[in-house]
């Protein structure tokens, strides 16, 4: 039985002082022993958020990371910096990074390997555009993103990672994928992992759905056999996140 993982992606929101306030507000609301709860926050918020989360079960994640160890990469954040700050997870290859910052699946693959090397659990995002969905190439596209993302990664390592299926047309639009659409793609991702590795790895890997998850639709989405939780944007910045984490109550 896979343990559910529900992560908030704060994106470029909350100054350090606002971040501490939000954690204090959410801390009593996001207590669910059956679920891994992760707050993925902007780099500058990581240190205060880790401190504010002390004594709770909340784990802290980053929203990006670079694939080099250190050196002349102005503006980038290294895996060792994240580890030292108390980060356990890192979102890699979010569609906003792929679209606005031209990250490729090859970049994402390099970052995946580095994160794993440093003991940080990657949450690798994949997802199709509306155009791709309408063209009927969703599954081919996603399979390609997953195959490149996991190139050269050993089965034992892959099994511990997380994949987030986030259809681009559902992100921040209030237009959630239907439960059937979300389950279809998450199931196809698991199948793809089984083809790359084996059934055991596919059964272990956790696959989230992301894209306009809210308190009203979380329970139905998370009840699907291949959906192991969610990656939540807008609703992770509000008290609603508590309801999403406690979707099973
Ligand atoms: P929304 O929940 O705001 O649609 O964002 C989803 C997302 O991009 C999470 O990574």
> pLDDT of 47-90, one tens digit each?
999 999 999 999 999 999 999 999 999 999 999 999 999 999 99
- Please report, to the nearest 10 degrees, the dihedral formed by the alpha carbons of residues 104, 110, 111, 114 taken in order: 180
Protein residue with its CA nearest to atom 7 in ligand 1:
233
Catalytically active residues are: 94, 166
Q: What is the pLDDT of residue 143?
A: 98
Distance 56 CA to ligand 1 centre (A): 24
pTM as predicted: 0.98
Q: Which of 232, 235, 236 to mutate to test the pocket of ligand 1 (most atoms within 8 A of CB)?
A: 232
Kindly give the residue spans of alpha helices, DSSP state H, lying in 91-178. 95-100, 105-117, 130-135, 138-149, 155-158
DSSP string, 48-64: HHHHHTTTSS-EEEES-
The domain 4-245 having CATH identifier 3.20.20.70: the answer here is: yes
CA angle, 187 then 192 then 197, to 5°: 125
Distance 191 CA to ligand 1 centre (A): 24
Protein residue with its CA nearest to atom 2 in ligand 1:
233
Residues near ligand 1 with C-beta < 6 Å? 9, 94, 166, 171-172, 210-213, 231-235
Residues of the chain scoring pLDDT < 70: none
Q: What is the pLDDT of residue 117?
A: 98
Listed residue (101, 99, 200, 194) closest to 143, CA to CA: 194
Query: Which CA distances in Å does 142 have to 35, 187, 193, 206, 249?
Result: 26, 11, 12, 16, 32
Q: What is the pLDDT of residue 1?
A: 82
Q: Which of 93, 124, 127, 210 to mutate to test the pocket of ligand 1 (most atoms within 8 A of CB)?
A: 210
Q: What is the pLDDT of residue 28?
A: 96
| 177/14 Cα distance (integer angstroms) | 27
Q: What is the pLDDT of residue 55?
A: 95
Protein residue with its CA nearest to atom 1 in ligand 1:
233
């Amino acid at each position: 039985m896979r343990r559910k993982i529900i992560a908030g992606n704060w994106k470029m929101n909350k100054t350090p002082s606002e971040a501490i306030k939000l954690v204090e507000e959410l801390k009593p609301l996001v207590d669910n022993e059956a679920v891994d709860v992760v707050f993925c926050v902007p780099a500058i918020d990581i240190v205060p958020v880790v401190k504010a989360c002390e004594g709770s079960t909340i784990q802290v994640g980053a929203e990006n990371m670079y694939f080099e160890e250190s050196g002349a990469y102005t503006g980038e954040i290294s895996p060792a910096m994240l580890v030292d700050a108390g980060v356990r997870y890192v979102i890699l290859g979010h569609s906003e990074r792929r679209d606005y910052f031209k990250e490729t699946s090859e970049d994402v693959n390099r970052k995946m390997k580095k994160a794993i090397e440093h003991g940080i659990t990657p949450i690798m995002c994949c997802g199709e555009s509306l155009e791709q969905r309408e063209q009927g190439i969703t599954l081919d596209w996603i399979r390609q993103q997953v195959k490149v993302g996991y190139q050269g990664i050993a089965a034992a390592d892959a099994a511990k990672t997380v994949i987030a299926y986030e259809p681009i047309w559902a992100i921040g639009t209030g237009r959630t994928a239907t439960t059937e659409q979300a389950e279809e793609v998450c199931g196809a991702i698991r199948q793809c992992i089984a083809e790359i590795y084996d059934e055991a790895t596919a059964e272990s890997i956790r696959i989230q759905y992301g894209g306009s998850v809210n308190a009203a639709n979380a329970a139905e989405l998370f009840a699907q056999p291949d959906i192991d939780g969610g990656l939540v944007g807008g609703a992770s910045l509000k008290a609603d996140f508590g309801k999403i984490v406690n979707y099973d109550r």
